[in-house]
Amino acid sequence: MEYDNTNRGVLFSERDKKTKDDDRDYSGTINIEGHEFWLSAWIKTSSKTGQKFMSLSVKPKQESRATGGGSPKRDMDDEIPF
């Protein structure tokens, strides 16, 4: 039986790889309703309460051309359209 990863994700520590304070603390992937996303997390501290929390960022693994993401392959065409 194949494992179903739908609506599940995983984060791995990046703390030992950080070179700047604003580098992410964790990275991984998440599947939301069958779509794959990159997941990043930062450990932060609330300036009001001093309580620690995780700030998250989600980015599509394959951005569509309609949103301007990615770099679609183009056929090389030497003609100059004038």
Q: Is residue 74 part of a domain?
A: no
* Residue 44 CB partners (closer than 8 Å, separation 6+): 52, 53, 54, 55
Q: Is residue 70 part of a domain?
A: no
Instruction: Kindly report the pTM of this predicted structure.
Output: 0.70
Q: List the domain range (segments joined by +) for residue 28.
A: 9-62
Report pLDDT for 8: 96
Q: Is residue 44 part of a domain?
A: yes
pLDDT above 80 for 10: yes
Q: Is residue 69 part of a domain?
A: no
DSSP string, 12-80: EE-GGG--STTS-SEEEEEEETTEEEEEEEEEEE-TTT--EEEEEEEEESS--GGGT-S----------
* Total number of domains in the chain: 1
Instruction: Give the pLDDT confidence of 32-80 residue by residue, as tens digits.
Output: 999 999 999 999 999 999 999 999 999 999 865 555 554 444 455 556 6
Q: What is the mean pLDDT of residues 1-13?
A: 92
Q: What is the CA radius of gyration of the chain?
A: 19
